[in-house]
């Protein structure tokens, strides 16, 4: 009973719409840090959102909110390796789980998405594996195994629509083999069978028409898509069909409905939107955006919230307060501030600071993610010898992997959600073989990361704290920017096995890497710097993590991390 569809309430609240909801200010991005391709739905008074997760595992995190400004992670659609064992073989930084859509129908939540394989040519049919996950209990990791589309849909960004006559449709962006554009199929959700393909629209001429969703309003079927590519020309455009879902779809005369292209706004690349009603009948959109400043921002594509006014028989107006644009300072008829419902693990809210401790019989917090499927035996929470630590055992590969695109190292972390932050961790590590290394990393993808590690060089008696830089263009000392320099500090023998490591984003362009001895009042020693633009770009965003590697052989000594704290500086843009 609690979970009545918002649209029902919306009909009841039609008259009251916007006449009594106060307009409140808020800041975009509403969901900061590595949150691309958002999709949301509203059920009762709760909003639920998902986004792309690429190679991260667990994948497709689900977030909930009751006021659209405080967001809490409540589970992951992809939480069991058996759901998608193919993730272990994925390679390339833009492979993995692409944009997901979340929908709710008759008691069940549906998430549709594509597992995309970079290693295949774009017209290779096996490149695209589109999937349907379902759950009736969205709290916790209770999502089904996926049903795979059959035959394969050679595209991505699939989105479900239930029509009033009981037919179910899926729209998606067709890739290159057939005509690029927005295609629609009928779908049987019980077995993934798709049939009756129709090309609905190819957009207004922008690159890569994608991210389609259909909304039915007042007898019209509105088709919303993204165009222009997920870069500076990104935009949201619309078309509609009267009376039938099959078209023809007439383009809106005033496209795009949302874009920051050709502006100098701080938020750029705005596009890939989804629209939903709140319980009072106010309409909202989410979209992705990236920040622009003197550098590219390492957090990648983040989620913005935009108020929408959608009058009868009209196309929607995105951001009536500053039409078609998204700015940092926004306003809209937000629901009253309310904390999310308490979830079983009392999860930390998105955009908040967090201190992670480890203890016996507790599971890892939802914020911690791996890169691809982990080998669980290499991540031990609170073993008897270290009852407040997470102990990592390195594999032979480092974070770059054997070739920069496949394999991975022992790694777990959480995303960067603030322009400026400090992350500290205590490390207890006594390398037993030359080359064994453990530390903290700012990780964008296998070819772009900064690693601050304790490592045995020459002999296990000689321990160093070392900053290594890997970027798509260069490794180690070959930096264009003198600030991006590696560092190497030999630890005196008087320093024991217990150190503290620190990563700080001191401003939008600079990471500072330091270590200290454990104990009160011990000073931090700077080891080196990283230029944020070296870990920017592409589809993903930075993860601040802990890692271990044997650098060519499996490690024998565990690296035990405790008290991992991430402290963000709010409201820095």
The footprint of ligand NAG (CB under 6 A) covers 31, 34-35, 49-51, 53, 56, 61, 63, 106-107, 137, 140-142, 150, 188, 190-191, 193, 232-233, 235, 256, 259, 261-262, 264, 268, 292-294, 303, 344, 360-361, 369, 375, 395, 398, 400, 415, 448, 451, 457-458, 468, 470-473, 475, 506-507, 509-510, 534, 537, 554
DSSP H or E run through 13: helix 6-13
Please list the residues that pair with 250 across neighbouring strands: 240
Please list the residues that pair with 73 across neighbouring strands: 63
Q: Which is nearer to ligand NAG, 51 or 389 (CB)?
A: 51
Q: Which is nearer to ligand NAG, 17 or 266 (CB)?
A: 266
The question of whether 198 is a catalytic residue gets the answer no
Q: What's the rounded Cα separation, in Å, for the pair 475 and 491?
A: 23
Residue with tokens 């205590």: 426
Task: Kindly state the smallest distance separating residue 1's Cβ from ligand NAG, in Å.
Answer: 14
Which one is catalytic: 37, 426, 437, 531? Answer: 37
Task: Kindly state the smallest distance separating residue 428's Cβ from ligand NAG, in Å.
Answer: 19
**What does each C-alpha distance from 447 to 44, 154, 296, 428 come to in angstroms?**
44, 28, 17, 27
Rg of the Cα trace of the chain? 24
Task: Kindly state the smallest distance separating residue 534's Cβ from ligand NAG, in Å.
Answer: 5
Q: Which is nearer to ligand NAG, 13 or 278 (CB)?
A: 278
Q: What's the rounded Cα separation, in Å, for the pair 559 and 543?
A: 19
Task: Kindly state the smallest distance separating residue 443's Cβ from ligand NAG, in Å.
Answer: 11
- Residue 29: cis peptide before it, omega within 30 degrees of 0: yes
Which among 111, 56, 23, 552 is positioned nearest to 334, based on CA atoms? 23
Which one is catalytic: 28, 72, 129, 210? Answer: 210
Residue with tokens 């959700």: 189
Task: Kindly state the smallest distance separating residue 509's Cβ from ligand NAG, in Å.
Answer: 5
Q: Is the CB of residue 515 less than 8 Å from the CB of residue 467?
A: no
The question of whether 417 is a catalytic residue gets the answer no
Q: Which is nearer to ligand NAG, 19 or 458 (CB)?
A: 458
Q: What's the rounded Cα separation, in Å, for the pair 449 and 428?
A: 22
Q: What's the rounded Cα separation, in Å, for the pair 105 and 562?
A: 43
Task: Kindly state the smallest distance separating residue 366's Cβ from ligand NAG, in Å.
Answer: 9
Q: Is the CB of residue 394 less than 8 Å from the CB of residue 347?
A: no
Other Cβ atoms within 10 Å of 322 Cβ, number? 14
Bridging pattern class, strands 317-318 and 498-507:
unpaired
Q: Which is nearer to ligand NAG, 63 or 564 (CB)?
A: 63
Q: Which is nearer to ligand NAG, 140 or 229 (CB)?
A: 140
Task: Kindly state the smallest distance separating residue 167's Cβ from ligand NAG, in Å.
Answer: 11
Q: Which is nearer to ligand NAG, 281 or 486 (CB)?
A: 486
Bridging pattern class, strands 390-392 and 147-148:
unpaired
For 12-58, list the strands marked E by DSSP: 24-27, 39-43, 46-50, 56-57
Q: Which residue sits closest to ligand NAG, CB atoms considered?
A: 140
The set of catalytic residues is 37, 210
């Amino acid at each position: 009973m609690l979970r009545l569809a918002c649209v029902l309430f919306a009909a009841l609240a039609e008259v009251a719409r916007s006449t009594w909801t106060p307009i409140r200010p808020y800041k975009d991005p509403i969901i900061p840090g590595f949150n691309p391709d958002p999709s949301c739905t509203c059920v009762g008074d709760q909003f639920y959102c998902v986004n792309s997760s690429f190679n991260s595992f667990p994948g497709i995190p689900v977030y909930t909110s009751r006021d659209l400004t405080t967001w809490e992670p409540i589970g992951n659609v992809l939480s069991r390796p058996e759901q998608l064992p193919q993730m272990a073989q994925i390679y390339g930084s833009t492979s993995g789980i692409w944009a997901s859509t979340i929908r709710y129908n008759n008691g069940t939540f549906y998430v549709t998405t594509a597992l995309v394989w970079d290693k295949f040519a774009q017209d290779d049919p096996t490149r695209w594996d589109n999937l349907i996950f379902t759950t009736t209990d969205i709290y916790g990791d209770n999502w089904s195994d996926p049903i795979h589309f059959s035959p394969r849909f050679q595209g991505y960004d699939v989105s479900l629509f239930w029509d009033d006559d009981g037919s179910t449709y899926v729209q998606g962006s067709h890739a290159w083999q057939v005509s690029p554009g927005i295609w629609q199929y009928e779908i049987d959700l019980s077995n993934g069978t798709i049939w009756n393909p129709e090309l609905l629209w190819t957009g207004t001429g922008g690159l890569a028409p994608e991210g389609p969703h259909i909304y039915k309003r007042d007898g019209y079927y509105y088709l919303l898509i993204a165009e222009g590519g997920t870069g500076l020309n990104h935009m949201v455009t619309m078309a509609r069909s009267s009376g039938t879902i099959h078209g023809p779809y007439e383009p809106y005369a005033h496209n795009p409905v949302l874009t920051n292209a050709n502006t100098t706004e701080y938020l750029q690349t705005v596009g890939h939107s989804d629209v939903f009603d709140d319980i009072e009948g106010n309409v909202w959109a989410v979209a992705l955006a990236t920040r622009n400043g003197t550098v590219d921002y390492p957090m990648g594509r983040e989620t913005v919230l935009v108020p929408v006014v959608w009058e009868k028989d009209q196309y929607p107006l995105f951001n009536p307060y500053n039409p078609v644009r998204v700015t940092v300072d926004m306003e809209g008829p937000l629901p009253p501030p309310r904390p999310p419902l308490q979830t079983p693990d009392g999860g930390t809210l998105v955009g908040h600071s967090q201190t992670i401790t480890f203890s016996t019989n507790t599971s890892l917090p939802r914020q911690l993610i791996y890169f691809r499927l982990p080998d669980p035996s290499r991540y031990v929470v609170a073993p008897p010898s270290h009852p407040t630590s997470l102990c990592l055992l390195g594999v032979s590969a480092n974070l770059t992997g054997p070739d920069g695109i496949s394999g991975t190292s022992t790694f777990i972390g959480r995303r960067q959600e603030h322009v400026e932050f400090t992350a500290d961790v205590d490390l207890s590590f006594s390398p037993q073989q030359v080359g064994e290394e453990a530390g903290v990393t700012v990780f964008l993808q296998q070819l772009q990361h900064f690693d601050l590690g304790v490592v045995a060089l020459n002999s296990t008696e000689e321990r160093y704290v070392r900053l290594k830089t890997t970027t798509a263009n260069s490794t180690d000392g070959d930096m264009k920017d003198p600030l991006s320099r590696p560092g190497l500090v030999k630890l005196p023998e008087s320093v024991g096995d217990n150190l503290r490591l620190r990563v700080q984003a001191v401003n939008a362009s600079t990471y500072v890497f330091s270590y200290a001895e454990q104990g009160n009042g011990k000073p931090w020693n700077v080891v080196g710097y990283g230029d944020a633009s070296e870990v920017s770009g592409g589809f993903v965003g930075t993860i601040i993590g802990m890692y271990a590697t044997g650098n060519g052989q499996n490690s024998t000594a565990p690296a035990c991390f405790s008290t991992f704290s991430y402290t963000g500086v709010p409201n820095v843009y």
